[in-house]
Amino acid sequence: MPDLYPLARKLLFAMDAEKAHHATLSMMSTAKNCGFLPFVTGSSYSPNPVESPIEVMGLKFPNRVGLAAGLDKAGTAVGAFGVVGFGHVEIGTVTPRPQPGNDKPRLFRLKEHHAIINRMGFNNPGIDGMLKNLEQSKQDFSGILGINIGKNKDTPNEDYLNDYLACFEGVYGAADYVTANLSSPNTAGLRDLQSADTCRELITRLQQKRDELEPEHGNKHVPIVIKIAPDLSEDAIKGLAAAFSESKVDGVITTNTTIDREAVSVHELASEAGGLSGAPLTAKATEILALLRSEMDPNIPIIGSGGVMSGTDAKAKIDAGASLVQVYSGLIYRGPALVKEILKTV
């Protein structure tokens, strides 16, 4: 089946980036419901992810490739991403209450670099809105569903725990695993929560909450994952590795987007505020992954995110110690063929 994405990309890249994003999600869902998504994505029809199973965090992942958080923030297209071949889909970041996010424009393509800058600011429908969307979108998805949680913009940092605990409780029944996002550069002060002490406190409180929730959910045990930034010093990573090992977190995602602009400094959009993702992040994210892997308890799995633009990039993350990989920007630039390429390579 021919890959129609290069043609689709021409049309999408001619549109405003955020409009193209919403158009793609709604077209994917419609195409899936009508049964012609495989013709658009070049995949042979299956409502479910490609099978190449692996067990991570006590969960059976159909394969090693997942969709990173932020693309399906509201959880409207989970099943459609299953058709594309993803073994897991991480939706969110969701906050307790709905919020509009930052003013537009807030999403920029740096085409020459195969990169994106975003300062979306957790635009999302809140827990209730997301759960409602999932009733439809998750129906025939048999992969692993991760739900990424954060705090509302107007919640002061000193009250951050209330928001993470409320989200954890709210999504517990729907999620296979939950990621606490402490690393978005687009919510003021969020990254300050990445200190080793705060992480220890957050993980312990989430674990206590899980002890309460498990019996209410038929003994369902939901792994807790922490997502960190690439802009951390070596010492900070070592401190976090110790905190993650001691508190026995279930998994870590390295990394979120970067605020560093060195790799794109000559680009006219380089000074746009926000997080940079895609090809300029590949090497840095893999370095952080390798450092965390060498410092942290080897039993805690790492999910590699950041500049996975090819099968080779995905293999480099696995070789550096990742159990799973996630893609976002690579999907925008390469389309669904990237998922197939990664599955062939890793």
Measure the CA–CA gap between 228 and 225, rounded to whole angstroms: 10
Q: Name the residue nearer to ligand FMN (CB basis): 28 or 69.
A: 69
Short-list 300, 196, 180, CA closest to 250: 300
Least Å distance, CB 107 to ligand FMN, is 5
Structure tokens at 129: 């809105």
Query: Which CB atom, from 256 or from 286, has the smaller least distance to ligand FMN?
Result: 256
Q: Which of 305, 314, 316, 320 binds ligand FMN (CB under 6 A)?
A: 305
Q: Which of 68, 127, 174, 241 binds ligand FMN (CB under 6 A)?
A: 68
Q: Does residue 66 contact residue 303 with C-beta atoms inside 8 Å?
A: yes
Rounding to the nearest 10 degrees, give the CA dihedral for residues 22, 172, 289, 143: -60
List the end-to-end C-alpha distance of the chain, in Å, as a whole number.
23
The pattern of x and - marking residues 130 through 149 that bind ligand FMN according to CB under 6 A reads: ------------------x-
Give which of 298, 303, 267 is closest to 285, Cα–Cα. 303
Q: Pick the catalytic residue from 29, 183, 184, 277.
A: 184
Only segment of 3-11, 113-121, 164-172, 314-322 that touches ligand FMN (CB under 6 A):
113-121
Interface with ligand FMN in residues 186-225 (CB under 6 A): none
CB-CB contact of 209 with 168 (8 Å): yes
Annotation marks residue 184 as catalytic: yes
Q: Does 89 bind ligand FMN (CB under 6 A)?
A: no
Question: Exposure of 286 by Cβ count < 10 A (0-12 exposed, 13-18 middle, 19+ buried)?
Answer: buried
For residue 45, the minimal CB distance to ligand FMN (Å) is 26
The residues binding ligand FMN (CB under 6 A) are: 68-70, 73, 92-93, 107, 116, 118, 120, 122, 148, 181, 184, 227, 256-257, 277-278, 281, 305-308, 327-330
Q: Catalytic residue positions? A: 184
